[in-house]
């Protein structure tokens, strides 16, 4: 079963003032203070919520709190604004009753925040969906827009609403929001042109200058400096904790969400900028020739910029500030305006421009948030309007605000009594008339169509002749003198003649909340709210589309000579409409109270709170609520709460809840006059009876708690004992097991030790026996061997003596050879074929064997070395071996070539792009490519040529161009001639009669002569279709040059010009090659 809490549980002070005992103003304030000190800011008066502004954030507005109060009974949880919002929403959704929530209180009491909390709660608990969420977001985002244009910083509140707001939120049959309609009341437009000390103009002016981009300000012809605008007060331009720049971005985003187009936003900002520019227009006096005074604008720059923003001709507006045209039936009269009248006209235009802009904003928001469907809607209204105002200097604004509060108080009393009476009738309880103060007489004093103050004010404003505030006050003194709630020093009532607290130019009205002194000065002008027709017509001529909408009366085609309705008349009509609207709805009240004037948390100023309690009529509210029965509760929760007070209803009552409550009340012997039974509720007359029940319940809960604690402690001790007993058995079992395991391990260990000693003794005994047996066997064997040896020696002694010398010689030779081979094994040389080390022979007779072993070892390690060669390396060594066979000890150049590897392709002809064409002209694989010098027979000089060798031919090509100069087939080569010196000259001898021998033999010089000759010789020796190439090594040989034979002679000479070889022609038959001598 779900355990429900109650308003009465853990209550700090009294949660519902109806239950306050004793009831007095002091006890009322003390209860508020006590709850406020414990951060309990909400208190009930029946279904009315009192809200104290905490001036700080409290953790009671979280999503978890929303869920906690969702679908809960109003008195089920501690007082909260969410409880009232949930009650109103569920009544609207489930019972199809239109609701209204009336939020009242003075500036700074938290009315605006309360309305936001109500709307946010309803938005959180209603349905979800894309369209529903869009409507909720638009309804919530309308608040920042209206706050920017309708709120301002005052001495009492940094975000004070300077207008009254009533929003009707429309729902469908499921309880999902469809849209809304906003009504605004009495914007304080006088704040546009003048602000009291310590206060600011409306927020939007400061937000625009602080948060707009430089480009936007440039378009609006504005500057960020507040001091440049006369309409902005400087002493409070910056407010701590208020970020105007961030709020401007919030407002722009909210306008976009609500549905404002970008051009509409721009038009609104242009009008705001125009108001600022309007305030900077100043006038100077000028005298005309006829003696009349007129005004002229001092500096026309601001006027020019304003006209550019609004699209108005500068001359038209300038004339409207200087002249006033009065139209009668048949004629027009134009009069000049003096400086005072010009300033009045300027301020009147600024106030009208801003107030009409605000009204247009409300209308535009209504267009966006209105319900789209035309079916019947359920409606919840939220009224956020000024509280009762009593200042040191009260004027026309305070008068009509207090009039509105009088009407709200009147409807509050009426609806509260009606609600009480309806509940009594519904429950079958006899209704008794309740005595209370009816403020209808005060409302009649103000709004009576014949003798009411507003009617007389309108009459004064409309009558011809001189009309002043003094004539208005005289009229009041004449007509209202005998009214018991009207007081004036100049009235015919003599009792106020000596009342010095009442100045001569003032009158006093005794409102339901107390007496208020009003200064008559300004009543007539503020009620007239007059804007010269010239200014209206000038505004209508603007090219700005929004301006034309705001000033429709300026249209020359629709000139209306009838005076416009006064401000008082309009406000009275709107209040009447509001009252009729509220009469059709079920009311819910939130009374907001400001705890101190310092806007600080944890401070409770008793005098200030007492003043608000009085003018809000909270004590009167409590008295009305508890005039009949102070407390009522449904039978089910009542029985559930108090059933433990009776043995017959505890712990379960099986019958109807009402019968259970009757049994309970009879058992408790509660006097019959203290309660009454309704159809679904029990009604308790006196709070003392309820507190008696609560006290008995508290005592019973203590007894029950003691009993539960006793039973619980007994159960806990028994459970603990049984657990200990069970644990002891388990511990004992485990311990016995552990002890037995330890004992077994000790016995096992001892047994193992004894067994090991026994086995060791047996093994040692057996070992001794075996050793003795072995020694005996060895002794027998030794004796037998000696005996057999003796016998053999006796038998064969004659044979040993005949062959002893030969055997000793053979044995000695065998031991020497064994020692030789073992020594040779330990001193073997390395495996390198070029290592010529070999151990010395120990004996001369081993000379042949020693030499043969050295030869065999060398052949073996050469074989092992050759087995490591690859095919390519093997071919290189074969060529090196072949070069050795050809040139060793025959040519002095050979030793220096041994260490140089045969690369073959020194030009990398296949990779070098320079020789790509030459490489492609050779069909076979190039075995050798090198640069050689071809010797000229004429002068012995050398010409560089590319030498290519393939398996079939020798090719000579030009080094620079790569062009083939000569190609010689290898079969056409008969021999190659070289010298014995260290030069690189060689002659290719060609076969006579061959095609290649036309130009004769070739005399060439190369640094790689050994490799070239070796490869030529190797190709001839390995090719089957070629003859063996002859190699002629001589210092003098003949070379065939065409038809002549020339002798090439090599001589050794001293080095000249370095160590290079030189070739000179001595005569036609001799070429002499000088080779430098080597040291």
Query: 954 φ, ψ to 5°?
Result: -120, 130
Q: Which of 892, 1022, 886, 1003 is nearest to 956 (CA)?
A: 1003
Length of the chain: 1079
Q: Which of 474, 472, 444, 445 is nearest to 459 (CA)?
A: 472
CA distances, 354 to each of 7, 188, 201, 282, 528 (Å): 48, 10, 12, 19, 17
Find out whether 105 and 378 touch, Cβ atoms under 8 Å: no
Give the DSSP H/E element, type plus range, for residue 634.
strand 631-634
Find out whether 684 and 19 touch, Cβ atoms under 8 Å: no
CA distance 686 to 21: 9
List alpha helices for 585-631, DSSP H.
606-615, 618-625
Known catalytic membership, residue 107: yes
Query: 385 φ, ψ to 5°?
Result: -135, 160
Known catalytic membership, residue 1072: no
Give the DSSP H/E element, type plus range, for residue 974.
strand 973-978
Q: Which of 6, 31, 160, 322 is catalytic?
A: 160
Coil, helix or strand at residue 21: coil
CA distance 1056 to 1036: 22
The per-residue b/e assignment along 881-908, b for 16 or more CB within 10 angstroms, e otherwise, is ebbeebbeeebbbbeebeeeebebbebe
Known catalytic membership, residue 428: no
Per 3-state DSSP, the chain is made up of helix, strand and coil in percentages (nearest 5) of: 50, 15, 35
Q: Which of 112, 322, 488, 919 is catalytic?
A: 112
Tokens of 361: 């904003």
Find out whether 334 and 571 touch, Cβ atoms under 8 Å: no
Coil, helix or strand at residue 823: helix
Which residues neighbour 871 within 8 Å (Cβ) at sequence distance 6 or greater?
none
Q: Which of 1066, 1027, 1031 is nearest to 1050 (CA)?
A: 1066
CA distance 865 to 938: 52
Q: Which of 157, 184, 250, 977 is catalytic?
A: 157
Tokens of 102: 């009336």
Name the residue with tokens 């790509």. Answer: 916
Q: Which of 389, 414, 878, 882 is catalytic?
A: 389
Find out whether 176 and 286 touch, Cβ atoms under 8 Å: no
CA distance 1001 to 1040: 5
Which residues neighbour 41 within 8 Å (Cβ) at sequence distance 6 or greater?
35, 51, 52, 53, 54, 58
Query: DSSP secondary structure string, 512-554?
Result: TTEEEEEE-TTHHHHHH----HHHHHHHHT-S-HHHHHH-GGG
Q: Which of 110, 180, 387, 628 is catalytic?
A: 387
Kindly report each contact of residues 72-75 with a partner whose C-beta sits within 8 Å and lies 24 or more positions away, as own/partner. 73/637, 74/47, 75/6, 75/7, 75/16, 75/44, 75/633
CB neighbourhood size of 937 (10 A): 16
CB neighbourhood size of 154 (10 A): 21
Q: Which of 52, 109, 38, 112 is nearest to 80 (CA)?
A: 52
First to last CA, the chain: 126
Known catalytic membership, residue 936: no
Coil, helix or strand at residue 264: helix
Find out whether 901 and 876 touch, Cβ atoms under 8 Å: yes
CA distance 532 to 553: 11
Find out whether 956 and 929 touch, Cβ atoms under 8 Å: no
Known catalytic membership, residue 161: yes
CA distance 803 to 322: 172
CA distance 56 to 598: 13
Known catalytic membership, residue 387: yes
Known catalytic membership, residue 389: yes
Q: Which of 108, 164, 1000, 1020 is catalytic?
A: 108
Q: Which of 142, 161, 491, 649 is catalytic?
A: 161
What is the set of active-site residues? 107-108, 112, 157, 160-161, 387, 389
């Amino acid at each position: 079963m779900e355990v429900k809490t109650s308003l009465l549980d853990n209550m700090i002070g009294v949660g519902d003032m109806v239950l306050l005992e004793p009831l007095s103003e002091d006890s009322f304030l003390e209860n508020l203070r006590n709850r406020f000190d414990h951060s309990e800011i909400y208190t009930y008066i029946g279904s009315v919520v009192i809200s104290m502004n905490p001036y700080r954030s409290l953790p009671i507005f979280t999503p978890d709190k929303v869920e906690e109060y969702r679908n809960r009974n109003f008195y089920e949880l501690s007082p909260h604004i969410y409880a009232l919002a949930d009650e109103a929403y569920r009544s609207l959704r489930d019972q199809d009753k239109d609701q209204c929530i009336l939020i009242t209180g003075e500036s700074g009491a938290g009315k605006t925040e309360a309305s936001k909390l109500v709307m946010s709660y309803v938005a959180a608990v209603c349905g979800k969906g894309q369209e529903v969420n869009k409507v909720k977001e638009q309804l919530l985002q309308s608040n920042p827009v209206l706050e920017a244009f309708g709120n301002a910083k005052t001495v009492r509140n940094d975000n004070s609403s300077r207008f009254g707001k009533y929003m009707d939120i429309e729902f469908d049959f499921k309880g999902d929001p469809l849209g809304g309609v906003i009504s605004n009341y009495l914007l304080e437009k006088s704040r546009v042109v003048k602000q009291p000390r310590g206060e600011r103009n409306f927020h939007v002016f400061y937000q625009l200058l602080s948060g707009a981009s430089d480009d936007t300000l440039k378009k609006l012809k504005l500057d960020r400096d507040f001091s440049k605008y006369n309409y902005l007060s400087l002493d409070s331009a910056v407010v701590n904790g208020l970020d105007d720049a961030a709020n401007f971005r919030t407002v722009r985003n909210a306008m976009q969400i609500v549905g404002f187009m970008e051009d509409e936003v721009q038009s609104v900002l242009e009008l705001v900028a125009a108001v600022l520019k309007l305030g900077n227009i100043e006038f100077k006096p000028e005298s005309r020739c006829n003696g009349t005074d007129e005004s002229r604008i001092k500096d026309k720059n601001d006027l020019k910029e304003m006209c550019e923003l609004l699209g108005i001709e500068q001359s038209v507006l300038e004339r409207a500030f200087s002249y006033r045209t009065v139209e009668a039936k048949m004629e027009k009269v134009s009069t000049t305006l003096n400086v005072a009248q010009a300033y009045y006209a300027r301020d009147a235009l600024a106030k009208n421009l801003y107030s009409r802009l605000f009204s247009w904003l409300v209308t535009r928001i209504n267009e966006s948030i209105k319900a789209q469907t035309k079916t019947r809607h359920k409606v919840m209204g939220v009224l956020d309007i000024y509280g009762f105002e009593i200042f040191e200097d009260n004027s026309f604004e305070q008068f009509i605000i207090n009039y509105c509060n009088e009407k709200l108080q009147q409807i509050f009393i009426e609806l509260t009594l009606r609600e009480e009476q309806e509940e009594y009738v519904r429950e079958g309880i006899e209704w008794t008339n309740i005595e209370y103060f009816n403020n209808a007489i005060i409302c009649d004093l103000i709004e009576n169509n014949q003798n009411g103050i507003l009617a007389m004010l309108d009459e004064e404003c409309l009558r011809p002749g001189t009309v002043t505030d003094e004539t208005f006050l005289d009229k009041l003194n004449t007509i209202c003198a005998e009214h018991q709630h009207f007081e004036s020093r100049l009235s015919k009532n003599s009792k106020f003649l000596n009342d010095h607290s009442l100045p001569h130019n003032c009158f006093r009205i005794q409102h339901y909340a107390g007496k208020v002194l009003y200064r008559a000065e300004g009543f007539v002008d503020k009620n007239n709210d007059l804007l010269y027709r010239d200014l209206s017509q000038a505004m209508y001529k603007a090219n700005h589309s929004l301006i034309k909408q705001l000033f429709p009366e300026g249209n020359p085609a629709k000139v209306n000579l009838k005076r416009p309705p006064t401000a008082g008349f309009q406000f009275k009509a709107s209040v009447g409409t509001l009252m009729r609207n509220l009469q059709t709805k079920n009311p819910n009240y939130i009374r907001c109270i400001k705890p101190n004037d310092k806007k600080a948390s944890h401070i409770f100023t008793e005098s200030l709170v007492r003043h608000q309690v009085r003018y809000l009529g909270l004590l009167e509210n409590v008295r009305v609520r508890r005039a009949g029965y102070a407390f009522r509760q449904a039978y089910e929760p009542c029985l559930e709460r108090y059933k433990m007070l009776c043995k017959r209803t505890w712990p379960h009552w099986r019958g109807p809840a009402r019968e259970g409550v009757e049994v309970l009340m009879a058992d408790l012997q509660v006097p019959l006059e203290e309660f009454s039974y309704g159809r679904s509720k029990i009604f308790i007359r006196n709070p003392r009876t309820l507190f008696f029940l609560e006290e008995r319940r508290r005592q019973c809960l203590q007894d029950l708690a003691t009993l539960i604690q006793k039973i619980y402690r007994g159960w806990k001790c028994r459970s603990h004992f049984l657990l200990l007993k069970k644990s002891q058995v388990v511990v004992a079992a485990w311990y016995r097991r552990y002890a037995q395991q330890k004992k077994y391990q000790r016995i096992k260990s001892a047994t193992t030790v004894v067994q090991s000693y026994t086995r060791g003794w047996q093994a040692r005994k057996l070992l001794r026996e075996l050793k003795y047996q072995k020694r005996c066997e060895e002794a027998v064997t030794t004796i037998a061997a000696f005996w057999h040896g003796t016998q053999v020696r006796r038998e064969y002694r004659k044979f040993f003596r005949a062959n002893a010398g030969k055997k000793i010689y053979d044995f000695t030779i065998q031991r020497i050879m064994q020692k030789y081979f073992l020594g040779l094994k330990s001193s073997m040389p390395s495996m390198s074929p070029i290592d010529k080390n070999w151990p010395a022979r120990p004996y001369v007779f081993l000379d042949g064997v020693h030499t043969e072993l050295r030869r065999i070892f060398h052949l073996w390690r050469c074989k092992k070395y050759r087995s490591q060669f690859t095919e390519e390396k093997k071919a290189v060594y074969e060529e090196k071996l072949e070069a050795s066979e050809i040139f060793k000890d025959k040519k002095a150049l050979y030793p220096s070539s041994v260490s140089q590897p045969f690369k073959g392709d020194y030009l990398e002809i296949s990779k070098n792009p320079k020789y790509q064409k030459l490489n492609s002209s050779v069909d076979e694989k190039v075995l050798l490519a090198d640069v050689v010098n071809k010797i000229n027979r004429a002068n012995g000089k050398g010409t560089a040529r590319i030498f290519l060798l393939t398996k079939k031919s020798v090719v000579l090509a030009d080094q620079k161009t790569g062009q083939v100069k000569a190609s010689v087939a290898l079969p056409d080569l008969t021999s190659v001639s070289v010298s014995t010196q260290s030069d690189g000259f060689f002659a290719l001898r060609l076969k006579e009669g061959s095609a290649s021998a036309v130009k004769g033999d070739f005399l060439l010089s190369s640094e790689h002569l050994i490799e070239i000759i070796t490869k030529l010789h190797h190709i001839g020796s390995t090719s089957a279709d070629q003859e063996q190439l002859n190699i002629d090594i001589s210092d003098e040989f003949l070379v065939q040059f065409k038809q002549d034979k020339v002798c090439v002679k090599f001589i050794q000479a001293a080095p000249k010009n370095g160590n290079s070889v030189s070739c000179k022609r001595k005569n036609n038959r001799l070429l002499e090659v000088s080779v430098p001598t080597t040291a």
